[in-house]
A and B are shown apart, each in its own frame.
Chain A
Amino acid sequence: MNWLLLFFHFSKFALLCFGGGYVLIPLLITAFVDEQQIMTLAEFGNLLSIAQVTPGPVGLNTATYVGYVYGGAIGSFAASLGLIFPTVVLGCSAVFSLQKWKQSFLMNGILKGTRLAAVAMILYAVTIFFGMSVFTSAIPWHELGRVFLFQCPEIPDTFRISPAGAVLCACSALLVWKTKIPTTVLILSFAAAGALLAFF
C-alpha cells in the first residue's frame, strides 16, 4: 500500500470517528487486523497500551504507530496527516460559522444546550481518568448499577483502589486548587514522583 492510500484510509477513519480517539480503535481493528492482517490482535493491544501511556493524544499516537508498522517514517507521517486533515477543514469552518452567527437566537440556543452537555462530558471524562489512575481498572458501572435493582453487585477482581494513584491524584488536585503552581511544573514533578514510587 502506498502512502497516499494510507493518507486516505486515515482521513476516512477521522471522518467516521465521532467523539474522540477511543472511537477510532474498533475501526482500526476492523481495517488492519481483520481485513488487511498486517498485525495480530495481541500486537494491536500492545500498541494501544503504548499509545495510552505515552504523552500526546491517543488517536494520533495510534495512527503514527500503525503508519510506522505499515510504511516506516513516511507511512506514519501520511497516516497522522490523514487523521488530522478532515478535522482541520471541518473545525475551521465550524469556528468560522460560530463567530459569524454569534448574535443569532438559534446559535445562542444551540450553545446553551451544548454547554450543559459539555459539562456532563467533562464529568464523564473524570470517571474515565479515575479508572486509569485511582482505581486499577475502569469503573464497572453496569455492576454498580445493579444496586438500584436491589441486587448485590459483582465487583471484578481487577477493580481495586490503587493507593499510590489515589494519593498522587489527591495531592495534584489539592495543589492545583489551593496554589497557583504552573501545570508544567506539576506534571513534571509528578512524573518524577511516579518514577520514584516504581523504585520501591
Chain B
Amino acid sequence: MTEKSENTILEWTPLRRYLLLYVSFFRITALVVGGGLAMLPVIEETFVNRYKLLTKEELLDMVALTQTIPGIIAMNSAVFVGMKAGGIPGAFSAIAGAFTPPFFIILLIASCFPRLNPDNKYLLGAFAGVRACVTGLILVSACKMCRSAIKCKFEILVVAVYFILALCKVNPALLIFSAMPLGCLYLHITLRRKAAAEASLKTKSPDSEKEA
C-alpha cells in the first residue's frame, strides 16, 4: 500500500505536493454543490485513481473518520488527505484550498444580495444540474465501494442493518462508534477461524509450510 504511493506523489518536492493539495481541494469545493460526502467521488477520482495516493480502503477510513470526529465532513476529508500526502503542512494547504472558494463565493453573494433571495432561474438551474450530476457520481462510487468493501454474506447484513439505522436518523457518529468494538470482535473471530482451519490443515498434512 505505502510502496505504491511512494512511487508517485511522495517523491515530489514538498512544495509541489502542497500546491497539488491546494489546487485539488480548491477545484473540489469550487465545483461540488452539496458539500460533505458529495466530494467523495471527486476525491476518489483525483487521489485514488489519478495520483494513487490513497487506496480504496483508506477512502473508507476517511469516510468513517470524517463522521467520527466533530466538525464538517468536507474539512475533515481535507485534513485526512492532506495529512496522508504531506503531513501537517499538507493538511493546512488542503484546508486552505477547500476554504478559499466557498468563502469568497458566499462573501460575494452576501454583499450583493443583502435580501438573501437569489431568484436568477438560470443560476438556480445550473446548480440543480450540478446536484443531479453529483447524485449520479456518488451513486456510481457507492456501487463500486460496495463491491470492493463487502466480501461475504455476513458483511452484507451488517451494512444493511447500519443503512436502516441511518435511515431511522440515528446519529452517524454514534453508528461509527458502535461499529468499532463490533469490528474488533469480528476480526477476532475471523482470525481464530483462520487459525483453526490452518491447524486442521496442518494435522492432515504435517509438511505444510505454516511456520514459514
Instruction: Select the residue from B65, B99, B131 with max chain A CB neighbours within 10 A.
Output: B131
Q: How far is the CA of A52 from the CA of B149 in the complex (A)?
A: 30
Determine if A87 and B149 form an interchain contact, defined as CB atoms under 8 angstroms apart.
Answer: no
Interface residues on A, range: 35 or more
Of the A-B pairs whose beta carbons lie under 8 Å apart in the complex, a sample of 23, sorted by A's number, is A18-B174, A21-B72, A53-B33, A55-B32, A55-B130, A56-B105, A61-B35, A68-B110, A87-B71, A91-B71, A114-B64, A117-B179, A119-B159, A121-B37, A122-B37, A123-B146, A126-B139, A169-B136, A176-B41, A183-B45, A183-B137, A186-B137, A199-B122
The binding surface of chain A is classed by DSSP as helix
Q: Of A43, A53, A118, which is in contact with the most chain B CB atoms at under 10 Å from its CB?
A: A118
Q: Mark B92-116, 1 if CB is under 8 A from A, else 0.
A: 1001001101110111011100001
Q: Is B68 an interface residue (CB 8 A)?
A: yes
State A68–B36 Cα separation when bound (angstroms): 22
- In the assembled complex, the Cα of A17 lies from the Cα of B72 at a distance in Å of 7
Does B72 lie within 8 Å of A20, measured CB to CB?
A: yes
Interface residues of chain B, those whose CB is within 8 Å of chain A, are 27, 29-42, 45, 57, 60-61, 63-76, 79-80, 83-84, 88, 91-92, 95, 98-99, 101-103, 105-107, 109-111, 116-118, 121-142, 145-146, 149-150, 155, 158-163, 165-167, 171-176, 178-188
Q: What CA separation (Å) do A196 and B126 show in the bound complex?
A: 8
Q: For the complex, is A159 an interface residue (Cβ under 8 Å from B)?
A: no
- Name the residue in B39, B66, B88 with the highest tally of chain A Cβ atoms < 10 Å from its Cβ: B66
Is B171 a contact of A19 with CB atoms below 8 Å? Answer: yes
CB under 8 Å from chain B, chain A span 139-171? 141, 164-166, 168-171
Contact check, B102 vs A54: say whether CB atoms are below 8 A apart: yes
- The residue among A16, A64, A95, A111 with the most chain B CB atoms within 10 A of its own CB is A95
B200 to chain A, nearest CB (A): 23
Give A167-181 as 1s and 0s: 1 = Cβ < 8 Å from B's Cβ atoms: 011111111110000
Closest to B66 in A: A20
Task: List chain A positions with a Cβ less than 8 A from chain B.
Answer: 14-21, 23-24, 43, 46-47, 50-61, 64-65, 68-69, 73, 76-77, 80, 83-84, 86-88, 90-92, 94-96, 98, 105-106, 108-127, 129-130, 132-134, 141, 164-166, 168-177, 182-184, 186-188, 190-199
Q: A95-B83, A194-B130 are in contact. Are A57 and B162 (CB under 8 A)?
A: no
